[in-house]
Amino acid sequence: MADRTEPPGTYDLFIIGGGINGCGIARDAAGRGLNVGLAEMNDLASATSSASTKLFHGGLRYLEYFEFRLVRESLIERETLMRAMPHISWPMRFVLPFHRDMRFESSTPTSKLLNTVMPWMKGRRPSWLIRLGLFLYDNLGGREILPGTRTLDLTRAPEGRPLKERFRHAYEYSDCWVQDSRLVVLNARDAEARGADILTRTRVTVAERDGDHWRIGLADRETGATRTVTARMLVNAGGPWAGEIIRGVVRSNATDTVRLVRGSHIVCRKLYEHDKCYFFQGTDGRIVFAIPYEQDFTLIGTTDSEQDDPDRRPECTPEERDYLIAFANAYFREELTADDVVWSYSGVRPLYDDGASSATAATRDYTLKVDDAGGAPLLNIFGGKITTYRRLAESALDRIAPFFPGLKGKWTAGVTLPGGDFKVVETRGKIEDLAEAYPFLGHRWAERMIRHYGTESWTILGDAREAADLGRDFGHTLTEAEVRWLMTREYARTAEDVLFRRTRLGIRATEAQIADLDGWMQDARAEHGAHAAQ
């Protein structure tokens, strides 16, 4: 491993990509004693890792594709991760309504088998099959914290009130929520605290083998400044750009390819009062979630559509929006229209191209490939899902270990991320403690702070006795004190970074408020630069 006294820019491991996989690997590797550098061409979590459905989940529907290893690993990880980050991840209950007359045109291996053995089913998922899947879901992962499945009488339960009358029965099971882009930032912060260099808005322009090292060209996307660093091993965690990195940056002859699948979501006004999620089945065999979101909204998603170009910004198309609205309207009593959509977002999942016939059927599992035929080793990361990011990082370190004899062993399971040093069951108490310590917050503001920053909320708020002590008010409980924290500690540089990734307050903000925050942040950066130059 590299001597820490070597000049800056000399690394054991250099990672391309600042999404959840890249930052998770950086954290794990730095904690094992490797000298790590990471370059992200935009903001951290600016692509796939901020555009997920925001769930730590086992993937109930993946059982239909017989992906038992992936589901088991994901189920085990739910509770491991929740213990390490109770501020940004918490349990949720999911309600799966079932109607015996619903028909599905599913093409999963399970449905094909059922159609062969029992042709009278005509594509329907029978109740016993759903119950079997939920039994496996409850037991594959050694569940300890989360409650198991139960049945609901929707004619009596409050969960039935928002639904159409024909839905009379449902199953209720457990999964977990996660603040996806905050997860990325906290992994990056912890990696940096353990010695890693995190370089945002820095593009890797070229990477060439030079004997047993990589020579890596970097370009600062804001200043245009360029420099070269060296590393003993390179990790391609470019997500949607992984294929482009292989061909255009590393110039490798590897034949592995990435399948880009766009997942779109819509956010509507709050559709019901309880705090549970819905798992809806469509007649086309797909599933869609309806999830309580940011206190006042409901998140509905997702779709599966092919995306041809990683550089084309993914957007929820009118067709996808209307598809999700129609999907929800098949279940909810109150009809949604396009006017009810307050925001939409879309992300591209970089799946390993396994030759599946459709985007929906493509594997969500991860694939790791080491290329060391030409000298210094390269590790390419394909696929993966946010729930298994920590296990993916461990698997990556298993592949990396042979090139670094004496590397320390696994350590990340249960080790808390910044602000997460309390137990899941203590979350409500932490919110109450913060509201008591800072009475001007009120419950909603205190809850937002704990759900974003955990115990670091006290550090951000400091000795404030009233809201005015936190500096400029940018609206919707966002203050100068919080923005300065995000700029100095969490790599934020623009209003978009703050409002749509570090927080989700952009849903509420007006264009004028966004512009005001952006201008203030530019002035703050310029002021900081002037002080640094003195």
- Mean pLDDT along residues 463-488: 98
Of 186 and 102, the structure prediction assigns the larger pLDDT to 186
pLDDT at 358: 54
d(CA 340, CA 343): 9
Quickly count: other Cβ atoms within 10 Å of residue 120's Cβ.
Answer: 6
pLDDT at 121: 36
Q: CB-based burial of residue 224 (10 Å sphere; 0-12 exposed, 13-18 middle, 19+ buried)? A: exposed
pLDDT at 492: 98
- Mean pLDDT along residues 384-402: 95
d(CA 451, CA 509): 19
Q: Taking all residues of the chain, what is their mean pLDDT, rounded to a whole number?
A: 90
Q: Which residues contact 201 (CB under 8 A, 6 or more apart)?
A: 40, 41, 42, 43, 220, 221, 222, 493
Asked whether the beta carbons of 59 and 70 are under 8 A apart, the reply is yes
pLDDT at 313: 93
d(CA 170, CA 127): 10
Identify the three-state secondary structure at position 211: coil
- Mean pLDDT along residues 13-30: 98
What are the tokens at 73?
A: 């690993």
Adjacent-strand bridge partners of 350: 260
Q: Which residues contact 78 (CB under 8 A, 6 or more apart)?
A: 56, 57, 58, 141, 146, 175, 176, 387
Percent of the chain with pLDDT over 70: 90
The structure tokens 């509507």 sit at 268
What are the phi and psi torsion angles at 220 (to 5°)? -75, 120
What are the phi and psi torsion angles at 97 (to 5°)? -65, 145
pLDDT single digits (tens) 60-116: 877 776 788 888 888 889 999 999 999 999 999 999 998 765 554 544 454 454 444
Burial profile 316-337: b = 16 or more Cβ within 10 angstroms, e = fewer:
beeebbebbbebbebbbeeebe
d(CA 453, CA 489): 12
**What's the Cα-to-Cα distance from 402 to each of 68, 377, 407, 447, 487, rounded to whole Å?**
28, 11, 9, 45, 38
Sign, CA dihedral 314-317-322-327, equals: negative
What are the tokens at 384?
A: 């993966």
Q: Nearest-CA neighbor of 257 among 372, 353, 339? A: 353
- In one-letter notation, the amino acid at residue 511 is E
The structure tokens 């059982």 sit at 63
Asked whether the beta carbons of 177 and 55 are under 8 A apart, the reply is yes
What are the tokens at 210?
A: 């030079």
Which long-range CB contacts under 8 A does 283-287 form with residues at least 24 apart?
283/102, 283/103, 283/104, 283/105, 283/330, 284/104, 284/105, 284/106, 285/104, 285/105, 285/106, 285/107, 285/108, 285/111, 285/123, 285/360, 286/327, 286/360, 287/61
Torsion angle defined by CA atoms of residues 306, 312, 315 and 317, in that order, rounded to the nearest 10 degrees: -60
- Mean pLDDT along residues 393-401: 97
- Mean pLDDT along residues 453-478: 98
**Lowest-confidence region among 136-150, 219-233, 384-398:** 136-150
Q: Look at residue 395 and tell me whether its pLDDT is greater than 60.
A: yes
Sign, CA dihedral 472-474-478-483, equals: negative
Adjacent-strand bridge partners of 178: 89
d(CA 313, CA 260): 12
Quickly count: other Cβ atoms within 10 Å of residue 208's Cβ.
Answer: 16
Report the predicted TM-score, pTM, of the whole model to 2 decimal places: 0.92
Torsion angle defined by CA atoms of residues 142, 144, 149 and 150, in that order, rounded to the nearest 10 degrees: 150
Phi-psi region of 169 (alpha: psi -120 to 50; beta: other; left: phi over 0): beta
Sign, CA dihedral 193-197-201-207, equals: negative
pLDDT at 120: 33
What are the structural domains of the chain? Answer: 10-48+182-257+364-403 (3.50.50.60), 57-74+87-172+263-344 (3.30.9.10), 424-528 (1.10.8.870)
Asked whether the beta carbons of 187 and 116 are under 8 A apart, the reply is no
Sign, CA dihedral 256-59-272-502, equals: negative
d(CA 10, CA 454): 35
Which long-range CB contacts under 8 A does 110-116 form with residues at least 24 apart?
110/63, 110/64, 110/65, 110/66, 111/64, 111/285
pLDDT at 118: 37
